[in-house]
Chains A and B, each alone.
Chain A
């Protein structure tokens, strides 16, 4: 059995509006798992069920073989980092960090030692006597992390902890979090809506939508083999087209043309999808399969490449191309959809 497991969790407001429904999730010890999804998908609710702020109507939350569903928040011993950091404004950095230890009635000497340790680890030396309002965003973030880690939590729960930082700091901090998490070996749940952040930091990702987990897999697999149209769209796939199976690795599109697909799932009718930058613009002599032609309707300059919207017989396709040849509105082009880049959903 997994270290952490959520079984058939259901949460509803007023007994009818379901936010989570039949949610299952297993996490192994020491893993960092991200909950990824758009706002309102239930990721924060899931985290709050784990933290104990929400009693699920149905289901159980089991940690290390122990049913935690009914354990009150303050007895769970989980470290939480909030999007707002929720530092206590009336307490200094040191007092903030000491808060959890004082609640555990730890003796002074031991407390000092623990605080010094975590201050060292989180790089907060020299800031301990300041008040939260005297700190920068990144420093506040580190205090929040230190305050959560000092109680040696069984789980670390991070709720969009980086979304209030500027882009550069965000990248720095996520590396920092990953480093700390691996060093301490602490099982962590990370809630985010930013896919890049999520892929870079996680061992596993659960993509959520409408209160259920659509796909739970490694970042690599989610990136290259999304299982549902929602996941595909969420992580950057565009260009969806209907396909019907003819034989192994061979599908027919709505015009009856054969499309070859390497990653074959056992689906009779499905949709094929491909990222804009996986489509190649070709001259007709280059390739002999998976070709489609169309007319450029919109061209957008993106810096290192151009993006074209192309009208084709199977619908609008979006293509990015960094080739030197630049097409203009009204040009007819040929596109090649590599069989190993097409994903079926």
Chain B
């Protein structure tokens, strides 16, 4: 009797998730596995991997996610390390400063780059007024602008994740390395970096899966020529009523996200075994 009460607490949450998440997902996945009234088959998915246009979109999405993760990591690691070594007051300020863009709407953040990269944008204006270029350079609605926007979107997330890990690395550890003859840079590479790797991987998972499913930024900065998985789904479903393609893409998106997460988390877990104090 008492035991049942415990489970009762879980029921509302479970029911809502099953009815409004699992069932809708089944409803979109199911038809993709039974194409055009025939029996069960992976034909739709095989078609996806054989279609050059579809594959271009898929590869573009993965490429953008990969490059964004790497750039966020390269910029995020030193910045996060700097923040983690600041005294408490400054650390609080810099954390707040990092959190602020994250809480700002992504439409606003993408819109900012339209103003900067556009034909009449800040960069073109500056370059033309100094006389470096005569004609405006096309930067907006390219893969480059999507990339910049995505990095801009996720860099704060990477920084905040890394600060969380790095502030737990005892300063004594760096000092010990220095006293043993390591320069600052060496001490960082030999001690801080190895100890931060689990955190870096978590950050990369967040950035990678985040940019894999990003919609706003590629929609606003990519234009119709640079579709990614998310913008393709909305285009197929809303403008073209091509439900099958949209659903197949949705499934591919979920599966890719899951694979990346499992893979990187497995690596992190393996490294973590050694890193734990």
Contacts and interface: CB of A to CB of B under 8 A. Distances in A.
Contacts of A74: 178-184, 186-187
B173 to A, nearest CB: 5
A282 interface: no
A90 B194 contact: yes
5 contacts: A78-B179, A82-B172, A87-B176, A90-B194, A99-B180
B175 A90 contact: no
A80 interface: yes
Top 4 A-B pairs ranked by shortest CB distance? A100-B180, A86-B172, A103-B181, A86-B176
B269 to A, nearest CB: 15
Contact of B276 (A52, A79, A82, A133): A133
A73 interface: yes
Interface on chain B toward A: helix, strand, loop, or mixed SS?
helix
B229 interface: no
Nearest to A76: B179
B270 interface: no
Given A53-B175, A80-B176, A131-B274, 11 more contacts: A53-B178, A73-B178, A74-B182, A76-B179, A77-B181, A79-B179, A88-B191, A89-B195, A90-B275, A103-B180, A148-B180
Nearest to A92: B274
A195 B273 CA distance: 40
B170 interface: yes
Contacts of A232: none
Given A84-B170, A99-B190, A103-B186, A89 B179 contact: no
Interface of B: 170, 172-173, 175-184, 186-187, 190-191, 194-195, 274-277
B183 to A, nearest CB: 5
Contacts of B179: 51, 73-74, 76, 78-80, 148, 157
B5 to A, nearest CB: 40
A88 B173 contact: yes
Contacts of A53: 175, 178
Interface residues of A, number: 31
- Of listed A53, A74, A131, A132, residue having the most chain B CB within 10 A: A74
A63 interface: no
B276 A88 contact: no
Nearest to B273: A131
Contacts of B191: 88, 90
A88 B177 contact: yes
Contacts of B276: 89, 133
A104 interface: yes
Contact of A82 (B175, B183, B275): B175
A96 B73 CA distance: 27
Contacts of B187: 74
B175 A80 contact: yes
B277 A132 contact: yes
A259 interface: no
A133 B172 contact: no
Contacts of B176: 80, 82, 86-88, 147
A86 B191 CA distance: 11
B195 A147 contact: no
A89 B277 contact: yes
A73 B275 contact: no
Nearest to A153: B179
Q: Which of B172, B186, B187, B275 has the most CB of A within 10 A?
A: B172
B181 A90 contact: no
A151 interface: yes
Contacts of A84: 170, 172
Contacts of A157: 179
A104 B170 contact: no
A151 B180 contact: yes
A157 to B, nearest CB: 8
A72 B185 CA distance: 13
B85 to A, nearest CB: 13
Nearest to A97: B180
A132 B275 CA distance: 10
Nearest to B187: A74
Interface in A52-74: 52-53, 72-74
A86 B173 contact: yes
B247 to A, nearest CB: 45
Contacts of B274: 90, 131
Contact of A103 (B172, B175, B182, B195): B182
Contacts of B194: 90
A73 B175 contact: yes
Nearest to A82: B172
A75 B184 CA distance: 11
Contact of B180 (A72, A90, A147): A147
A144 to B, nearest CB: 8
Nearest to A144: B176
A73 B177 CA distance: 10
Contacts of B172: 82-84, 86
A151 B191 CA distance: 18
Nearest to A89: B277
A84 B175 CA distance: 12
Contacts of A148: 179-180
B166 to A, nearest CB: 14
A101 to B, nearest CB: 9
B170 A133 contact: no
Contacts of B180: 74, 99-100, 103, 147-148, 151
Contacts of B186: 74, 103
Nearest to B171: A86
Nearest to B276: A133
Q: Most chain-A Cβ atoms within 10 A of its Cβ — which of B170, B180, B181, B195?
A: B180
A161 B89 CA distance: 29
